[in-house]
Amino acid sequence: MIFAMANTKRQPGEGDDAEILGSGPGWESYLQGLVAPRGPLSPFFVKQILDLWGQLERALGALQPPHAAGTADLGFSMSWDRGRHHFEVEIDPGSTYGWFYMDRASERRTGEEDRPLGRYSPEMISCLQRTVS
């Protein structure tokens, strides 16, 4: 099941494409709407997503809204695009995540897979900062 939501009156699951989400009450309301039994995610997994978001904002300050959507394996994906920069992070329901960064101008690509939630490398933070700044 793929689900997406924006800060609009749509409900999780409506729409085919990932939409832009903002941080704050709309973001938290969106995630709470994905909690079972209304949605496909466990309360624990939604808390992990919120914890990740909070840690990223503590490291970088307020973040620009990502494109966000659930994944077919009941994970959650967020991505940012700005000019030549692309950054995405995918959180797995098994308490791990992976991230990917691409600089379209230099064709530089980097990332990590199967990282434990709560541990974020300086390279990951640097690549996200490059994308959202």
Comparing 68-77, 81-90, 124-133, the range with the smallest average pLDDT is 68-77
Best CA proximity match to 47, nearest among 34, 65, 66, 63: 34
**In this predicted model, what pLDDT tens digit does every residue of 8-48 receive, in sequence order?**
333 333 333 334 444 556 777 888 888 888 888 899 999 99
**In this predicted model, what pLDDT tens digit does every residue of 46-79 receive, in sequence order?**
999 989 989 999 999 988 778 888 898 889 999 9
- In whole angstroms, give the CA distance from residue 35 to residue 129: 29
Residue 4 reports pLDDT greater than 80: no
Give 48's contacts (C-beta < 8 A, 6+ positions apart): 91, 95, 117
